[in-house]
Amino acid sequence: MTASNPNSSNQWHVGLIGYGEVGRILAEDLRKDGVRVSAYDIKLSDDRGYQLREHADSIGVTLAGSHAELASQADFIVSAVTASQDVAVAQACVGAIKKGAWFLDFNSASPGAKQRAAALIDGAGGRYVEGAVMTSVPPYRIKVPLLLGGAGARELAPLLNDLGFAAKPASDKLGVASATKMCRSIMIKGMEAMVIEAFTTARAYGVEDAVLASLKETFPGIDWEKQGAYFFQRVIEHGRRRAEEVREVAETVRDAGLTPWSAEGTAERQAWVADLADEGLFGVKGTKEFARSVDWRTEADRILAHAKKK
């Protein structure tokens, strides 16, 4: 089988693997423009599947029963899963992907992982392109800045932009785009972890106002109250995924010949917050019903109260 309209992206059948926050945002924006969309997520088989099915039904997304079912139908596949599943998703599509179909790896994985995934997809007759999402998706939605890498990057970029994306080719060499993303994540995910640790510790000692005043003096362009609340909530809701991403960052650092002390510490802090969230510290246990407080102190106090119980 071949991709039905390789040069007309608005006629593509788009397949989304991963129907989490990013997948649902992409689905909503693509469907607004009338693009045919299918999706698959491993959560469809457990208790979380009801909400995904409800969302898909509400916007006209067809849900597939497996990776292979989705891959056999789609002209363009977007893999938007956790970093640890990057290569596994490519492997799951190998036996069914249509010849000539595009495969955009949207995941925050290391250059090495992207290269392994590419070998699988290209070897099966698909056309692999790595994508590096350069900032948080929700504020930008489908127009989030996206770097593309690989032999097909320059050809795919205008086709994606016709669909509403904001993509640009970074390099014909696979791994350059993901390396850019990974190096950025050392800073951004590290800042999240440092803010949670520093602000919570400051709260414990009653010096948070003095610390924030000092930060404002040093970095006057940042609203530290607002940034703190944002970082706390993003890690509470997405710490598990972020921890996996930063472990990929650590692999990237190791491959450069350095010891990833900062990345490893960041991954541990992100995973630690995710564990607390899973225990229900920030809301209802086993759900994503978090407080979403506009004041980071609310969350810091919960963390400190938990720490005192130990």
**Per-residue pLDDT at 1 exceeds 60:** no
**Residue 234's pLDDT is what?**
92
Task: Decide: residue 211, CB within 10 A, 0-12 exposed, 13-18 middle, 19+ buried.
Answer: middle
- Over residues 70-82, the mean pLDDT reads 97
Phi, psi of 79 (to 5 degrees): -95, 110
pLDDT tier for residue 292 given thresholds of 50, 70 and 90: low
Asked if 291 and 298 count as a contact pair (C-beta separation under 8 A), the reply is yes
* pLDDT tens per residue, range 87-122: 999 999 999 999 999 999 999 999 999 999 999 999
Residue 134 DSSP SS3: coil
**Per-residue pLDDT at 252 exceeds 80:** yes
CA distance 66 to 142: 24
| Sheet of strand 166-171: strand arrangement | 62-63, 36-40, 13-17, 76-79, 102-105, 127-133, 145-149, 166-171
Segment 205-213 long-range contacts (CB within 8 Å, at least 24 positions apart): 208/297
* pLDDT tens per residue, range 11-23: 999 999 999 999 9
pLDDT tier for residue 46 given thresholds of 50, 70 and 90: confident
**Per-residue pLDDT at 6 exceeds 60:** no
* pLDDT tens per residue, range 116-166: 999 999 999 999 999 999 998 999 999 999 999 999 999 999 999 999 999
| Angle subtended by helix axes 224-255 and 261-278, to nearest 10 | 120
**Per-residue pLDDT at 290 exceeds 70:** no
**Residue 48's pLDDT is what?**
75
CA distance 181 to 114: 12
Average pLDDT, the chain: 93
pLDDT tier for residue 212 given thresholds of 50, 70 and 90: very high
79, β-bridge pairs: 17, 105
pTM score, whole prediction: 0.84
**Residue 294's pLDDT is what?**
80
Q: What percent of the chain shows pLDDT beyond 90?
A: 88
**310 contacts: CB under 8 Å, gap ≥ 6:** none
Tokens of 3: 């991709």
pLDDT tier for residue 285 given thresholds of 50, 70 and 90: low
**Residue 267's pLDDT is what?**
97
**52 contacts: CB under 8 Å, gap ≥ 6:** 19, 39, 41, 43, 44, 63
**Per-residue pLDDT at 49 exceeds 90:** no
- Where do the domains of the chain lie, and which CATH numbers do they carry? 9-173 (3.40.50.720), 178-309 (1.10.1040.10)
**Residue 214's pLDDT is what?**
98
**Per-residue pLDDT at 284 exceeds 70:** no
**Residue 31's pLDDT is what?**
97
CA distance 67 to 88: 10
Per the model's pLDDT, the better-predicted residue between 248 and 288 turns out to be 248
**Per-residue pLDDT at 2 exceeds 50:** no
**Per-residue pLDDT at 4 exceeds 90:** no
Asked if 15 and 79 count as a contact pair (C-beta separation under 8 A), the reply is no
**Per-residue pLDDT at 3 exceeds 60:** no
